[in-house]
Amino acid sequence: MADEIYSEIILDLYKNPQNFGHLKEYDIKASGGNPICGDEVSFEVKIDQDKINEIKFVGEGCAISKASSSLLTEMAKGKPLWEVKKISNQDVFESLGGVIQTRIKCALLGISVLKMGIEKFEQNGKRKTEVQNLRI
């Protein structure tokens, strides 16, 4: 049964994701997905003095990609951008309670899209930035 490969953390967050939805205003909107399965995630981020003040996400994806995106919003909130960019793949795997080899791309979907969005924002002189169709 498919559920057996998911930890309790993943199943809980899949059913009740944190910070799911849209912000009224944002400085970064980064959307992208995994072209192999078609799963997509989109983050909206409000920045205040180089820190992530608010962050929300929406997306259609598997349990692991949704849970990891949800956990990521919790990890990133209140942190300076430089610190968010340092969140490692290992940090993501640990937050999920471990990830099996075949689902690594699922676990990294959110962090990859968010980091690409932050990079574009910085390249854009920290002005409002929207990036779509990012592919991991």
Contact residues: ligand FES, CB under 6 A? 34, 37, 39, 61-62, 64-65, 106, 109
Residue 34 and residue 109 in contact, taking contact as beta carbons nearer than 8 Å: yes
- φ/ψ bin of 135: left (φ > 0), alpha (ψ from -120 to 50), beta (otherwise): beta
Q: Name the minimum Å distance from CB 88 to ligand FES.
A: 19
Instruction: State the amino acid at position 120 in one-letter form.
Output: K
Distances (CA, A) of 14 to 30, 50, 53, 113, 128: 21, 30, 24, 18, 30
Q: Toward ligand FES, which CB reaches closer, 2 or 49? A: 2
Q: Are strands 129-135 and 51-60 parallel, antiparallel or unpaired?
A: unpaired
Query: In angstroms, what is the minimal distance from the CB of 90 to ligand FES?
Result: 19
Q: Please report how close the Cβ of residue 40 comes to ligand FES at its closest, in angstroms.
A: 9
Closest CB to ligand FES among residues 28, 113: 113
Cβ nearer to ligand FES, comparing 17 with 61? 61
Two structure tokens written together for 44? 């909206």
Distance in Å, CB of 1 to ligand FES, minimum: 17
